[in-house]
Amino acid sequence: MLHQWAWSETSLIIDLFTRGQGRLAVVAKGAKRPYSQLRPVLMPFQRLLVLTGVPKAAEAANVLTLRSAEYAGAGATLPPTKLFTGFYLNELLLKLLVRGDPHQRLFDAYADTLLALAAAEDESPLRAFELMLLRETGLLPELDRNTTTQERVQPGRRYQLQAEIGLVTAGGSGLSASACQAMQTALDQQDLAALRSACQSDLPSLKSQLRSLLVYHLGSPPMRTRQMMLEVRRLIESVPMSARTATGSP
């Protein structure tokens, strides 16, 4: 489940990411009722087995009816410090994927990334997923060659992702040629573990470049999860250190 909206006093409209049909919008009737069987199941970051149907009044409806939902195996249990990151992944999928367009490799990568995030000590799972998402949606240039010259990346040089151009030679803060080559190889082989490892060598630069690339393709308004994270950070920083210690705030 990527997101949910209230629909009437007792029901929800839910955006699902499915392996076979891509994003689907469904109505979960009565899901807000205290004793609904759907209520404890419809949780983010959990893999579900769902049965949907077309509303009788509209055979070509874009919003299906959720008939049933049940757990389909152990999902990711994200610690509180990783929840914003999980919701950020969901928002990326909501904004970059159109409904009804299957992306099976991306679905598998999403499930694997959630599990990796739960145990990760750095942002490499997040950066690897951003690369996979951009690759699957056709928005990522080849990382093993200069886009403007079509020359293979050269050892000792640095490179930068520019939204309107592609991968170009950059200064000292760019991505190393070896990192670019390793990321491209991992993407070609669909090896998510190797992609995470390749991301680790240039994480600060990769984060900055992917953020710029995503902002360009997403347009406005800005990502809600990112705005919320900044607001929470400002709120925490405004609290005196003594008060943070007393309340257990990070």
Sequential pLDDT tens for the chain (250 residues): 999 999 989 999 999 999 999 999 999 999 999 899 998 899 899 899 999 988 765 555 688 999 999 998 767 788 888 998 999 999 999 999 999 999 999 999 999 999 999 889 999 999 999 999 999 999 999 999 999 999 999 999 999 999 999 999 987 789 999 999 999 999 999 999 999 999 999 999 999 999 999 999 988 777 777 766 665 656 555 655 554 443 222 2
Rg (CA), the chain: 21
Strand order in the sheet with 48-53: 3-7, 11-18, 22-28, 63-71, 48-53
Co-location of 43 and 62 in the same domain? yes
Q: What's the CATH number where 112 sits?
A: 1.20.1440.120
Co-location of 64 and 88 in the same domain? no
pTM here is 0.87
Question: For residue 249, is it within any domain?
Answer: no
Number of domains in the chain: 2
Q: What's the CATH number where 9 sits?
A: 2.40.50.140
Side chain identity at 234, as an amino acid letter? R
Question: For residue 123, is it within any domain?
Answer: yes
